[in-house]
Structure 1
Amino acid sequence: MIGRLTGLLISKQPPEILIDVQGVGYEVQMPMTCLYELPDIGEPVTVITHFVVREDAQLLYGFNTFAERGLFRQLIKAQGVGPKLALTIMSGMTAQQFVNAVSHDDVSSLIKLPGVGRKTAERLVVEMRDRLQNWTSATPATDAAPVDFGDLQPTVVASSPRDDATGALMALGYKPAQAEKAVATAMKANSDASSEELIRAALKTM
């Protein structure tokens, strides 16, 4: 089980990042709410991880805190919620916002997320209420001694913020037309925005 990674942040292709750990590159999928908090490319980074093994793939999901990973693990235990939908839910709202929605029976906020219909939202509220009674947010469990990566330099693949943002939204479950429209709207407000800024703005318009 891979529970934590510390290394050099090589690339961000939302919702996936690549971390170089002593010469080994790990692809990690992260909720957008967690990815927003990462340092710049080329900087040291530590993420808390959850490892999923399937017949056709081995996948790593990353988070900034143990509490966020704990919420992810509770979500994937819920009926009809797999890792992909859990990632989408945690991309559309922070962990604390989700907990608040559940505690206040706020079904309307949940059904705004792609892949979450009314029945799924109502089931989530019922199933997660007891599981999250003792849930508390936490500061990032990433304090560690600085890591010296020597002359290792990140390889950055050039791509446009617009394409990155559109691709990220599609990966989260939004239809291409929805993603393109939301990103276009975000770009009208700020044409010089980074891909992460576009994603954040686009999600708010969904």
Structure 2
Amino acid sequence: MIHRLRGQLIEKDNEGVVVECAGVGYRALTSLTTVQALPPTGEECVVHTRLIVREDAQLLFGFASRDERAVFDAITSVSRVGPKLALAVLSSMSPGQVAEAVARGDVLKFASVSGLGKKTAERLVLELKGKEAAFFEVVPELSSKNGSSAPVAPASPGGGPYLEAREALTGLGYSLEEAEAALSGAGEQDSVEAYIKAALRGVRRR
């Protein structure tokens, strides 16, 4: 079992990296988050790995942190969700954001990931809901330095009115990112209407 690689980063692209260890180059498929977190080619790096053995292939996946690998394992434990979809999620969301989305039952956040779809997003939330504490023991955000961590950003407001307001804003034509940006300045509100009014006031001021 290949669990960790430490060596010279000799190649990296949008799909993965090659790490040379004792003269052997190991190719690992990665998320875009990991690619961005690793140092420039030619430098030493540490990549945490997960080896998946199939009848027709042995696939090595790499992660810039143990937290990202833990979330990858959690996502691939969901029925009919493979490693490629797990990497797509981790390319769009940090480990902390995945844990937060599961805890909130945030189907829309998962469904915004390219290739995932609403039904798969619902299955992710359904099968991981209530298990996030076991799956995500530590979920600090990845920092720009390989192997190090930064504190998790403050969580956005929980489910209920916040999620309903965000869905309403996307229904008005805002993208998910635009809706979340507008709501980020709304502060804590006690109703859907209050969230929407505060968000739209912030948009008009920009």
TM-score (norm 2): 0.65
**Equivalent residue number for residue 63 of structure 1:** 63
In 2: Cα distance, 1:11 partner to 1:87 partner:
19
- Residue 48 (str. 1) matches residue 48 (str. 2): yes
The answer (yes or no) to whether the contact 2:13–2:35 under 8 Å persists in 1 is: no
**Equivalent residue number for residue 181 of structure 2:** none
The answer (yes or no) to whether the contact 1:65–1:139 under 8 Å persists in 2 is: no
- Residue 7 (str. 1) matches residue 2 (str. 2): no
**Equivalent residue number for residue 111 of structure 2:** 111
In 1: Cα distance, 2:105 partner to 2:77 partner:
19
Amino acid at match of 2:100: N
> Could you give the per-residue CA deviations for residues 49-104 of structure 1, whole angstroms, max 9, x where no partner exists?
00011122111111122121111111111011011111111111111111111111
> Residue 142 of structure 1: CA displacement?
4.6
CA 1:123–1:139 in structure 2 vs 1: closer, same or farther (change >3 Å)? closer
In 1: Cα distance, 2:71 partner to 2:141 partner:
14
> Could you give the per-residue CA deviations for residues 104-152 of structure 1, whole angstroms, max 9, x where no partner exists?
1111111111221111111111111222124222588958xxxxxxxxx
**Equivalent residue number for residue 127 of structure 2:** 127
In 2: Cα distance, 1:142 partner to 1:114 partner:
27
**Equivalent residue number for residue 75 of structure 1:** 75
Query: Aligned to 2:42, what secondary structure does the other structure show?
Result: coil
- Structure 2, unmatched stretches of 5+, are 149-206
Amino acid at match of 2:104: H
In 2: Cα distance, 1:119 partner to 1:44 partner:
41
**Equivalent residue number for residue 137 of structure 1:** 139
Amino acid at match of 1:4: R
Matches within 5 A, 1:1-206: 1-134=1-134, 135=136, 136-138=138-140, 142=147
- Aligned pairs, number: 143
- Structure 1, unmatched stretches of 5+, are 144-206
Amino acid at match of 1:43: E
The answer (yes or no) to whether the contact 1:66–1:138 under 8 Å persists in 2 is: no
Query: Aligned to 2:127, what secondary structure does the other structure show?
Result: helix
Query: Aligned to 2:70, what secondary structure does the other structure show?
Result: helix
In 2: Cα distance, 1:102 partner to 1:139 partner:
16
CA 1:125–1:82 in structure 2 vs 1: closer, same or farther (change >3 Å)? same
The answer (yes or no) to whether the contact 1:74–1:131 under 8 Å persists in 2 is: no
In 1: Cα distance, 2:3 partner to 2:141 partner:
17
TM-score (norm 1): 0.65
In 2: Cα distance, 1:102 partner to 1:142 partner:
25
The answer (yes or no) to whether the contact 1:65–1:138 under 8 Å persists in 2 is: no
Query: Aligned to 2:116, what secondary structure does the other structure show?
Result: coil
Looking at CA atoms only, which structure, 1 or 2, has the larger radius of gyration?
A: 2
Query: Aligned to 1:68, what secondary structure does the other structure show?
Result: helix
The answer (yes or no) to whether the contact 2:9–2:43 under 8 Å persists in 1 is: yes
